[in-house]
Amino acid sequence: DQQVKQNSPSLSVQEGRISILNCDYTNSMFDYFLWYKKYPAEGPTFLISISSIKDKNEDGRFTVFLNKSAKHLSLHIVPSQPGDSAVYFCAASGSGGSNYKLTFGKGTLLTVNP
Amino acid sequence: DTEVTQTPKHLVMGMTNKKSLKCEQHMGHRAMYWYKQKAKKPPELMFVYSYEKLSINESVPSRFSPECPNSSLLNLHLHALQPEDSALYLCASSQVEGPNEKLFFGSGTQLSVL
């Protein structure tokens, strides 16, 4: 049973436009969410995180939005650059019991075309 | 220094071989992790060490044997692996084990079992 879902396996956008990557979760115990970026044959790199006490967190070109009632978060990249082309993983963890272990989604391959 | 260093980057081994994967971090983190990632899948947790003691073993077969010689080093000893064990093996670390922790990943060891 997948607790973190990234329903779009891939996304293609034009350079300079906005990229929106979506993530849904089912475990109501999750209260901390992270986005990781991964290039081929490399480890995931931490990008941005958000705690459930917030609904938005911004870092440069990257903004994460959290809608707790919908159990949905999204990563906005604006403007998108060709170097942003990578697989983006959404991950979640919670405070209770074994929920603190990071659970990853399957990832979304973002391609930014020049 | 925010690096997690893994060696070797690539490893090819036969099913009767014994080999070891190594991981090192100098961020003073007290939690270290082994993940396994197959192509087009999310990382899967294998082991967690907290303060050099094994904290979590996600029912990993005994042909994988982790070791934490000190707070900076983490090894994964491999013996009698199967071809289906071929994957990218990722090491990660965090300040401590617990909720709301960011994991920092190494670049991984791409393992092929023949």
pLDDT tens column, B44-97: 999 999 999 999 999 999 999 999 999 999 999 999 999 999 999 999 999 999
Query: In chain B, whose CA is at the least distance from the CA of A90?
Result: B42
Instruction: Answer whether residue A97 shows pLDDT above 70.
Output: no
Collapsing DSSP to helix, strand or coil, B85 comes out as helix
pLDDT, mean over chain B: 93
Say what the pLDDT of residue B111 is. Answer: 96
Average pLDDT over residues B3-11: 95
Site from B59, B101, B110, B112 to mutate, A interface, most A CB atoms within 10 angstroms: B101
pLDDT tens column, B29-38: 999 999 999 9
Q: Using 50, 70 and 90 to split pLDDT, how confident is the model at A109?
A: very high
- Residue B31, strand partner residues: B50, B94
Say what the pLDDT of residue A98 is. Answer: 66
For chain B, percent of residues with pLDDT exceeding 70: 98
CB-based contacts of A43, cutoff 8 Å, min separation 6 = B4, B6, B90, B91, B92, B105, B106, B107, B108
Q: Do A101 and B42 touch (CB under 8 A)?
A: no
Beta-carbon neighbour count of residue B4 at 10 Å?
25
